[in-house]
Chains A and B, each alone.
Chain A
Amino acid sequence: MKLALGPILYYWTREKIQKFYEDIAAAPVDIVYLGETVCSRRHIMRTADWLEMAKMLAGAGKKVVLSTLTLIESESDLKTLRRITENGDFAVEANDMGAVHRLSGHMPFIAGPYLNIYNPQTLSLLSSLGAQRWVMPVEMSLKTLQPLQQSRPAGMETEVFSYGRLPLAFSSRCFTARFHNLPKDDCRFLCIEDTDGKTMRTREGKPFLVINGIQTQSALIYNLIGDLDSLRNIGVDVLRISPQSEHTTEIVRLFRECVENRISPEGAMQQMEKVMPEAGCNGYWHGRPGMEQLYLASLVPHE
């Protein structure tokens, strides 16, 4: 199984992004997805900057993929989209059907997690349009993935979101700006203060969701490290790790060691719990509410 690093979902400073990918260049990850996928207003990294970063990572031996914006609303968003789909050097992850429209017939692409591929018919269709890999929607389970694996088109790779805060929803409203009582058009880019988003708690204090600009994430950390056997058995090709502000390379290393059977899932989980920003969950993979945590018989629940 290969390991992929998903795009950074938060808004970080240029220095932080630079340092982050320098570390990633040396980390045991095979594929790196780059680009702004959440908010079109974020501008610290322009497309040209991402392309530079892509070259650096490719030079370090990584397979680099440029990810497109998920919510494409304006002509200026479409211009950015075209610059990415026509970059000529790097593969592209399409996160909107508009991106698929630009890519199909021109170059092979990766069908991102927001394209809503839920059945073999749609997967075959995407394949015929040039998709070579697809990322399963986060809410799908082992059981619902099975028929897609059995009938998947030749050469199609399957990637599963396996670690990180779940990207659950997109809005055109910015919830970070709303928190600061600012209109989105004058948001002052305050999401840069929240390197792992802003936690939203229930009125009894339980961490529930995370605000990340126009995106809403789970507060709990989706973590399928304890489910490696089933991921492997069903023929998943790529595991996606979603960046967090600290300890991402540590998480990558633990996944790598676990995939190579150099450490047990139990051992990896114990080390991860020290660096996870919140408790874990894995319900979706088991066909349960996403927020639930189901343990392997051998894994003892913490607390």
Chain B
Amino acid sequence: MLPDYKLELVCPAGSLPALKAAVDNGADCVYLGFRDDTNARNFTGLNFDAANARTGVEYAHAKGAKVLLALNTYPQSHGWERWKNAIDMAADIGMDAIILADPGLMQYAMKTHPQIHLHLSVQGSATNYEAINFYHEHFGIRRAVLPRVLSFAQVEELAAGTPVELELFGFGGLCVMVEGRCSLSSYVTGESPNNCGVCSPPKAVRWQKTTNGLESRLNGVLIDRYADDENAGYPTLCKGRFEVEGETYYAMEEPTSLNTLELLPELMRIKVRGLKIEGRQRSPAYVAQVTSVWRDAIDQCVKNPDAFSVRPSWTAALGKISEGQQHTLGAYNRPWK
């Protein structure tokens, strides 16, 4: 392994306590968003104001961790100033990089703050090296976060075609659609990840007990119905049960989450630079637990990649906080497709 190669553990922070939990438990980088629609986890009570962000950066830097700003939604004309100000703020606070999806914003960031590193967000939908090289050539991006749709073989092929560092999702929620190319949420609710930083927003959700069972609706559309002995899940609309030609099933995706612990040696072999944990909407306790498991796993893998195996204690710890959900390797494992 090259002496300067290091797989960075990139952890989510929806609040200052979550940021501290991530840093204290071994995160190399923490990513966060401001408290508005400039980021893709625009939920009430979540995210940072300027003062909190400054404190967070000081805390992380004092302990050797980096802070990345998620500015990963697409500004519409009326909100341009808000996104621009967020970039200026990130530069002012001394954040280490900005994660962007919108090319117009990248151009602004590059021209105004040439010293700040740019990462291409997963919302930029770059699934091939020609696309990544486009952003590299025009905006000098240092890193690209890949959508959760490529098989491992495709990631390896892509890595060979670009000088840009790659960051992959390793654990947490699983988008079945190509990020940045899904308008299902706005079709139903008017708000999507691209235009508002939300998917299946809580304000559009209604739960109703009926004689047919517990029903979850999104702006009136029935997403799922649960019998008494079934666990009800949040009605993310691609994870509901629908009927196709007389069969009712999870037509798009089961309510599973992504877990790629077993791929760690392979990810390190092809020199993936960032391992991203999803979940800025999660609690500090969750962030602490996931970070600590992944820190341990990465350290074990660095020590001896050939002998690496997933420890049952890691799986148990992650299983406990994933609320008994199933885990999957997602698209990294080709049969998932």
Contacts and interface: CB of A to CB of B under 8 A. Distances in A.
A123 B137 CA distance: 18
A198 to B, nearest CB: 6
Contacts of B128: 72-74, 77-78, 96, 98
Interface in B241-267: 241-245, 247-248, 251-253
B251 A284 contact: no
Contact of A121 (B80, B137, B192, B251): B80
Contact of A70 (B176, B181, B334): B181
Interface of B: 74-78, 80, 101-105, 107-108, 124-131, 133-135, 137, 149-151, 154, 157, 176-178, 180-184, 186-190, 192, 194-195, 219, 221-225, 238, 241-245, 247-248, 251-253, 331, 334-337
A248 interface: no
Contact of B127 (A72, A168, A185, A284): A72
Contacts of A124: 104
A98 B222 contact: no
Given A148-B77, A208-B242, 5 more contacts: A97-B135, A144-B77, A175-B251, A179-B247, A203-B225
Interface in A102-160: 102, 114, 116, 118-126, 137-140, 144, 146-148
- State the majority secondary structure of interface residues on B: mixed
B134 A71 contact: no
A118 B157 contact: no
A61 interface: no
A9 interface: no
A138 B183 contact: yes
A148 B49 CA distance: 30
Given A289-B186, A290-B183, A137 B102 contact: no
B187 A166 contact: yes
Nearest to A74: B154
Interface in A200-222: 200-206, 208-209, 211, 216, 218
A260 interface: no
Q: How large is the interface on A (under 10, 10 to 19, 20 to 34, 35 or more residues)?
A: 35 or more
A290 B187 contact: yes
B81 to A, nearest CB: 11
Contacts of B105: 121
Interface of A: 70-75, 77-78, 81, 96-102, 114, 116, 118-126, 137-140, 144, 146-148, 166, 168-175, 178-179, 183-185, 198-206, 208-209, 211, 216, 218, 283-284, 287-291
A165 to B, nearest CB: 11
A290 B190 CA distance: 7
Contacts of A175: 251-252
B244 A287 contact: no
Contact of B244 (A100, A118, A211): A211
Contact of B134 (A100, A146, A168): A100
**Can you list the 5 inter-chain pairs with the closest CB atoms, starting with the nearest?**
A121-B104, A98-B130, A147-B77, A172-B149, A122-B104
A289 B183 contact: no
A139 B182 contact: no
Contacts of A211: 244, 251
Contacts of B337: 172-174, 183-185
A121 to B, nearest CB: 3
Contacts of A208: 221, 242
A200 B251 contact: yes
Contacts of B107: 121, 125
B222 to A, nearest CB: 4
B181 A169 contact: yes
29 contacts: A71-B181, A73-B128, A78-B129, A81-B130, A96-B125, A96-B130, A98-B134, A100-B134, A101-B130, A101-B134, A118-B102, A120-B104, A121-B80, A121-B105, A139-B187, A169-B181, A169-B182, A171-B178, A173-B149, A179-B245, A184-B337, A198-B245, A202-B222, A202-B223, A203-B242, A206-B221, A284-B187, A289-B219, A291-B221
B331 A168 contact: no
Contacts of A203: 222, 224-225, 241-243, 248
B101 to A, nearest CB: 7
Given A98-B134, A101-B137, A116-B125, A216 B242 contact: no
Contact of B242 (A97, A119, A200): A200
Contact of A284 (B129, B150, B186, B221): B186
Given A102-B130, A116-B180, A179-B251, A171 B103 contact: no
